Amino acid sequence: MSFTLPSSVRIGFADYTVVPMTKDEAAKSDHFGITDVDALEIRINTEMPAQRQINVLLHEMLHACWDMGDLEDTVAEEKAVTVLSIQVSMLMRDNPGLFHHMIEATWVIRRP
């Protein structure tokens, strides 16, 4: 499976730029991905298998959602985001038609 990072993702009122990160940069930061809520930037190690990149992108997007929801920045955030990103990734993988249908239905409902 191949995966190309999007150039940006919309989270709440903000458009986050998605930036590739090398394996060396990831090793220096000790993270597969990083979300900078002040710069509206998500950095992802693109030298990983596609499935891990997808999960890490979702993980970082959930960090941005956490910040957008003005939730407290705690150790519990990392645990919650990790568990949710893994579970949602599995839901998306195991139910691809359902997620496509949900997106289409939402678009139809919101369309003027």
Distance CA 22, CA 85 (A): 22
Q: How big is the CA angle at 68 (ends 17 and 93), to the nearest 5 degrees?
A: 65
What does the pLDDT read at residue 67?
Answer: 87
What does the pLDDT read at residue 32?
Answer: 94
What does the pLDDT read at residue 35?
Answer: 96
Higher pLDDT, 75 or 18: 18
4-61 pLDDT tens trace: 888 998 888 889 999 999 889 989 999 999 999 999 999 999 999 888 898 899 999 9
What's the chain's length in residues?
112
Which domains does the chain carry? 8-110 (1.10.10)
What does the pLDDT read at residue 102?
Answer: 66
- Is the pLDDT assigned to residue 1 strictly greater than 80? no
Ramachandran area for residue 72 (φ above 0: left; ψ -120 to 50: alpha; else beta)? beta
- Is the pLDDT assigned to residue 109 strictly greater than 70? no
How large is the average pLDDT for residues 87-109? 73
- Is the pLDDT assigned to residue 112 strictly greater than 60? no
Q: What residues have CB less than 8 Å from 17, skipping those under 6 apart? A: 7, 8, 40, 41, 42
Q: What residues have CB less than 8 Å from 87, skipping those under 6 apart? A: none
What does the pLDDT read at residue 24?
Answer: 92
